[in-house]
Structure 1
């Protein structure tokens, strides 16, 4: 009902979508996306033939198609940049409140609302099993991803200057979100945040030569961490600090194990999927999150579905993987062209756009090594929303730049100066 209500409201506001109105859909993405949709339909028929289960097909289709409606809604909504900013501010606030349940668990609050749904995943560390905390999200995997997303989007909002939050408040919020993310026991959170931060900082440095806000927030975070560290002088607080060190030490190992995970869950999972299910895959939904309840999932397809590339090959075969790589490549090339175009402009929308692009790019390696979270419908919609906002923001930035040039031309004309002509 919610999705139907959103669709009705969108059509009443904007009318039926004409895909040719959106440059990226009528340009580089059109051909691979069309071929992919045809291949997806074919693989859905294969899945139905083998398993005779529409629910399994529906789960699989959602994992591939859910970002598209999110993109369309966000694109039109984000043509007013302030609307996109309001949306992202609401998401950051909501995610922070949901992650706040992690600290309630640490403080000893015992509630079914703070427990992991199902059995969860046991995390083994030297000396025993590491307790993980999901907060109100009821899933440590989901909590870790939303912590990383909230941290990234807080930085986008603050560094771009589209919001005027006090720097110390931003730094404190990031410290709390990082702490919450570490307490989930999921190491990929730290990897995503650092990849995003590195990409965003590089784009700002190369294209705008401005790192002031980001550097200031980082300095304040370091000071806050130092101040917090001074309170670990009592026995009880020292024990709590040592307990937190276990989570930090585990998270840091993500870097030493990154190469091995990429090898096993990247190309390794592709090879395994081809050997198990053949060149053309096993059909839509068979390796999707939740598919285990309808004849698919890890019980049938093993570890191939944990890596993003292996999951695609297990379901759609090598042709499906080629088409998805083509789509992603076309999107990245298109975004890069937009980055080079808007980098010549000087307005707050430019660093805002850079941040959204960096967030999307940071999720690509995460998908390759851990695709489970991308079976979450809300996560897929968020990625679609951010993609839509990024395309809209680039168009707004270019439009503002064009208006500034026209205004400059008018000002020069009114003073008797003509571009391309001399006055004497």
Structure 2
């Protein structure tokens, strides 16, 4: 029922279904809370004119996998009861009028893969507990379900091609909650999300492998939590157009699956971590209009593909990419002590301490040497042989010199 011209309020006599898509119509009024009370698993209400806030009380929150309320006129705060949606994988509240801080109860959504809170009026810091959400990370206890889902993913495509050869369209049904604990999205499901700076609609099985976080265009303040660097399975990360301060966490270099990182239009400072060049899948990197300083990362790997616009609006950055030379760093010389030679030496040696330390060191070395000769008979024999050779050499050298001297006297 999406993309039609339906208007007015949604009737209360709504069938008990699992998949509801009323997006991009002209429905008005408050959110139909009765849709959240049944067994709906995927609810798409984006692109309407709903007003009011998100209902605080939900009867069966464990059924919902997808909730898309984007592009409406919703307002108020995100209720703390949002944490009750224990199975929620996708939550999109983009382009509304929500206010207040992002509640920590969102972190209870441990199975979250896609979270889009962009273009609202959220304020305050980014919660430090976002690393509690999976964002595509598969734990050891989910490996079997993930592997089983891959088999289902490919086998369904084989069936599709086979049925297509018979001239019939394949019929797909929605999987139940307990049929597949990890892969919950079928070919009819779709989610809108911005990744790599492009708005796209992701549909079908690919949703089972998508993950992303978009907090752009809000009024978020404070530093970027280093815990975001633990979301090592996330693909796009967008924190642009906020009022964030501080530096880029070095832990971002651990986001090995990251494809898009947008930190533009903030008040971030410090150097851009050179370790980010280790992100081999990074296709979009934007840090424009901040207060970064120092040398930009080396133009190697993915960073060789980014142009000058990625660094615009940072007057203290330098590097060949932005055609601004970096000044040579001057190594600070150790301070030299100035003294007047007429005053004598600037240091003083205590003769008693010097003599005592010299004697102690000499005795220690001598004792160690004697102990080695006592323990090792081979080296002991070699040492005595060396002494004997030295004595004979000195004796014959002295005798030879004495003989030559005597010969000169008698001539």
User: Which of the pair has the greater relative contact order for Cα pairs under 8 Å at 6+ separation?
Assistant: 1
TM-score (norm 1): 0.24
* Larger proportion of helix: 1
* Larger proportion of strand: 2
